[in-house]
Amino acid sequence: MSFVTVSNLWQRYGTRSILERVNVDIHEGEFISIVGASGCGKSTFLRMLLAQEQPYRGEIRIDGGTPAREPNLERGVVFQKYSVFPHLSVRDNLIAAESFNTPFGRLSRNARKAAGRRADDMLERIGLNHVAHQYPASLSGGMQQRLAIGQAMNAKPRILLLDEPFGALDPGTRLQMHDFLMELRDETNMTVFMVTHDLQEGFKLGDRVLVFDKPRWDPHDPGRYGATITYDFDARDGGIPFQMKEETDVSE
């Protein structure tokens, strides 16, 4: 009962292969951590999940639907930075998650009131009600990311994509964010993909940890082969590998 199906996914820029033959099935409600060396294509994979760019080959389906051609309401996203709108107050950022989906980007008065109430609920959940009328620039990095996550959730996406959401935070704040994210997830049972640099974080938060790496390597032409999922760990019970996708064969 696969919810997100990635089948035979390739990506290349110019003549450089970034990803190749990525196949993976994700169940609804799973929390997927994605780790791998810098530049191996984790963000690229996320961008394709987001439909921000189209794969060179292969496809990604959510719940069996047709592959999306551009980002839409089904996919929520939080980047490391710039994920909230600096010109909107904290509360308006949350309301935007509803108002942007209208022809003029504005809600009628009644709809606005209802959205405002839902925004207040969300503010409560993300613990930002005391700064509801401030602008993002006056919030700390951690608060901004909490807002970004709340905003993404407010639009009720089917999958939530996080690209190093805590990469710019200091260690203490990071830990708080972990707790925050786990709580939210327990409440909503969202399907989440999270790219992280921090292995520990990946195993702590994820149900599964996908490791991206190049299975083949051409020393004369490093751009020839792309990365793929080389390990797929079950992290629910603390991180014991349950499945090895492929033998890593350097000499191939």
Partner 1 sequence: MRWINKIPERPAAILLAALPFLAIFLAYAIASDIRLEANPQDKLLPAPSTIVETAQRLFTEPDRRSKEILLWNDTLASLGRLAAGVGIAATLSLAIGLAVGLLPYARSTLSSVIAVLSMVPPLALLPILFIVFGLGETSKIVLIVIGITPFMTRDLAQRVLEIPHEQIVKAQTLGASSAVIAMRVALPQVLPRLISNVRLSLGSAWLFLIAAEAVASNVGLGYRIFLVRRYLAMDVILTYVMWITVLAFLIDWLLKNLSRRAFPWMEAGL
Ligand X SMILES: Nc1ncnc2c1ncn2[C@@H]1O[C@H](COP(=O)(O)OP(=O)(O)OP(=O)(O)O)[C@@H](O)[C@H]1O
Note the residues at the interface with a second copy (CB under 8 A): 167, 170-172, 197-198
Taking the complex as a whole, the smallest distance from the CB of residue 177 to ligand X amounts, in Å, to 19
Q: In what order do the strands lie in the sheet with 4-13?
A: 16-26, 4-13, 57-62
Expressed in angstroms, the distance from the first to the final Cα of the chain is 34
For residue 18, state whether it binds ligand X (rule: CB under 6 A): yes
Using the rule CB under 8 A, is 136 a contact of partner 1?
yes
Restricted to residues 58-87, the positions that interact with partner 1 (CB under 8 A) are 69-73, 75-77, 79, 81-87
Which is nearer to partner 1, 66 or 251 (by Cβ)? 66
Told to check if 43 binds Mg ion by CB under 5 A, we report yes
43 contact choice in a second copy, Mg ion, partner 1, none (CB below 5 to 8 Å, kind-dependent): Mg ion
Neighbour tally for 28: CB within 10 Å = 15
DSSP 79: -
Q: How many residues bind partner 1 (CB under 8 A)?
A: 42
Work out whether 188 is an interface residue with partner 1 (CB under 8 A). no
Query: 143 near 128, Cβ under 8 Å?
Result: yes
The helix/strand/coil state of 51 is coil
Q: Rule CB under 8 A: is residue 249 a binding residue for partner 1?
A: no
Q: Which of 17, 33, 43, 230 binds ligand X (CB under 6 A)?
A: 43
Nearer to ligand X, 16 or 156 (CB): 16
Per-residue x/- marks for partner 1, 98-117, CB under 8 A? -xxxxxxxx-----------
Using an 8 Å Cβ cutoff, are 139 and 147 in contact?
yes
Rg (CA), the chain: 19
Residue 32 · residue 26 · CB < 8 Å: yes
171 binds, among partner 1, Mg ion, ligand X, none (CB under 5 to 8 A by kind): none
How many CA atoms, within 13 angstroms, populate the side-chain half-sphere of residue 251?
A: 0
Give the C-alpha separation, 247 to 216, whole Å.
Answer: 10
Cβ contacts of 89 within 8 Å, gap of 6 or more: 132, 133, 134, 135
Residue 13 contact, options ligand X, Mg ion, a second copy, none, Cβ 5-8 Å cut-off depending on partner type: ligand X
Residue 15 sits in the site that holds ligand X (CB under 6 A)? no
Contacts with partner 1, residue ranges (CB under 8 A): 50, 52, 69-73, 75-77, 79, 81-89, 96-97, 99-106, 134-140, 148, 151-152, 155, 157
